[in-house]
């Protein structure tokens, strides 16, 4: 125990003597949390719209006014020429064109139905899907209003329709930032923990001080633990710090138990830091380590369901995610924070990570060579 304590004192002194460490712990995560939460947010505001109203009737103006009233749409261009609108779309100045031909209202009265054209820029498919959904909803509202106002009296019997009001559980206001923020917090905690730990060990290898350590009677597990514990504490601190930022800036809900979240995070960190340490036992230079760490980090993060739920990935990808610790944490942090899940809800993930952590740490310790 005394040897471990001696080593821990050394590690902490070295960590906080590194001038870059405090910015890495405090500044970098805050910038990432704020920047990425807004930037990666899929929420739609200010969709740029071009209106081609060739009818200019009461009906067409009514529809346009509904778009104007929506907080999501910004009408940038009102024109009679479809060509002009299309030019704006191809040059990326508008996201969507609403096109009504000269017989829009006439057909509505005479044939009781009419046509309109919606052209959506689908370079960003997700965004296009959302724009389409928003437009359809507004047009459906307009439809109801028209039927009520003009045909309402005689067709009152037909007017009974199902009015679907969706209620979004665990994120009632569909605040995408909350969803995004929890994901970004996972990434930051993972990156800081895994990379700092792994780089630290490889740096000692590069400097040649591990050789001096290897001729001493230090046990391998003592050395590995001394590398693991400080960064585990830093990563846990980072999580606490992130939760405070999220609470203050984004009103992040914390429905479940914080104790449970931190307990789960401990097991999670043992796993990812273990992976980092394992990678550093098989690398000789910081450069080699960075290549490998980036491969694993990118794959883990992109597959973890940070942007899209992992449940909507193909079956084989979901199977692969059994090996992806980030996916477990991504799911559990949202379950605990947003949904208030309890231990029994996350026990499967918890025990899986316990096994994972044990395996990877054993591998890291046995693979660390005191003798070559």
| Contacting residues toward other proteins, per CB under 8 A | 2-3, 5-7, 9-10, 13-14, 17-18, 207-209, 211-218, 370-372
Find all residues with CB under 8 Å of 102, minimum gap 6, and list them: 54, 55
Of residues 12 and 134, the one with the C-beta less far from other proteins: 12
Of 3 and 263, nearer to other proteins (C-beta) is: 3
Which residue number, 102 or 370, has a Cβ lying nearer to other proteins?
370
* 97 DSSP β-pair partners: 50, 119
Q: Which is nearer to other proteins, 18 or 347 (CB)?
A: 18
Of 14 and 76, the one with the shorter C-beta distance to other proteins is 14
CA-CA distance, 116 to 57, in Å (whole number)?
14
Going by C-alpha positions, the residue among 180, 204, 195, 276 that lies closest to residue 20 is 195
Please report the DSSP string for 319-363 in residue order. Answer: HHGGG-HHHHHHHHHHIIIII---HHHHHHHHHHHHHHHHHHHHH
* Least Cβ distance, residue 12 to other proteins (angstroms): 11
C-alpha–C-alpha distance, residues 317 and 313, integer Å: 6
For 30, the token pair is: 């805050």
3-state SS assignment for residue 364: helix
- Residue placing its CB nearer to other proteins in the complex, 117 or 285: 285
Give me the least distance between CB of 279 and other proteins, in Å please.
23
The whole-angstrom distance between residue 97's C-alpha and the CA centroid of its chain comes to 30
* Residue 212 near residue 370, CB atoms below 8 Å: no
CB 9 to other proteins: min, Å: 8
From the CB of 22, what's the least distance to other proteins, in Å? 15
DSSP string for residues in 217-248: ---HHHHHHHHHHHHHHHHHHHHHHHHHHHHH
Q: Give the shortest CB-273-to-other proteins separation in angstroms.
A: 22
- Our CB check for other proteins shows the closer of 156 and 209 to be 209
Helix pair 58-69, 125-150: axis angle to 10 deg: 130
Distance in Å, CB of 295 to other proteins, minimum: 29
Least distance (Å) from other proteins to the CB of residue 222? 9
């Amino acid at each position: 125990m005394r040897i471990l304590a001696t080593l821990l004192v050394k590690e902490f002194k070295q960590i906080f003597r590194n001038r870059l460490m405090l910015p890495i712990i405090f500044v970098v995560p805050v910038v990432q949390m704020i920047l990425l939460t807004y930037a990666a947010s899929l929420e739609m505001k200010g969709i740029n719209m071009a209106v081609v109203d060739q009818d200019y009737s009461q009906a067409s103006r009514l529809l346009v006014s509904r778009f104007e009233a929506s907080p999501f749409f910004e009408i940038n261009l009102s024109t009679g020429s479809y060509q002009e609108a299309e030019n704006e779309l191809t040059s990326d100045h508008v996201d969507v064109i609403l096109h009504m031909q000269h017989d829009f209202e006439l057909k509505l009265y005479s044939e009781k139905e009419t046509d309109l054209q919606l052209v959506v820029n689908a370079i960003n498919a997700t965004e296009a899907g959302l724009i389409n959904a928003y437009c359809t909803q507004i047009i459906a509202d307009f439809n109801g209003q028209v039927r009520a106002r003009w045909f309402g009296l005689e067709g009152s019997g037909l007017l009974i329709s199902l009015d679907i009001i969706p209620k979004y559980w665990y994120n009632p206001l569909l605040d995408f930032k909350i969803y995004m923020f929890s994901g970004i917090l996972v990434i930051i905690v993972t990156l800081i923990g895994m990379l700092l730990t792994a780089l630290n060990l490889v740096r000692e290898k590069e400097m040649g001080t591990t050789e001096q350590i290897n001729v001493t009677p230090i046990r391998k597990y003592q050395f590995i633990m001394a590398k693991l514990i400080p960064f585990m504490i830093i990563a846990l601190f980072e999580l606490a710090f992130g939760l405070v930022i999220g609470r203050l800036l984004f009103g992040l809900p914390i429905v479940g138990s914080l104790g449970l979240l931190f307990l789960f995070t401990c097991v999670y960190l043992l796993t990812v830091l273990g992976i980092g340490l394992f990678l550093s036992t098989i690398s000789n230079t910081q450069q080699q380590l960075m290549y490998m760490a980036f491969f694993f980090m990118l794959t883990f993060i992109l597959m973890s369901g940070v942007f899209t739920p992992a449940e909507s990935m193909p079956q084989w990808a979901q199977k692969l995610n059994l090996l992806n610790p980030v996916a477990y944490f991504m799911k559990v942090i949202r379950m605990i924070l947003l949904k208030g899940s309890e231990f029994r809800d996350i026990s499967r993930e918890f025990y899986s990570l316990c096994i994972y952590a044990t395996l990877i740490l054993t591998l890291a310790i046995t693979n660390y060579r005191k003798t070559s």
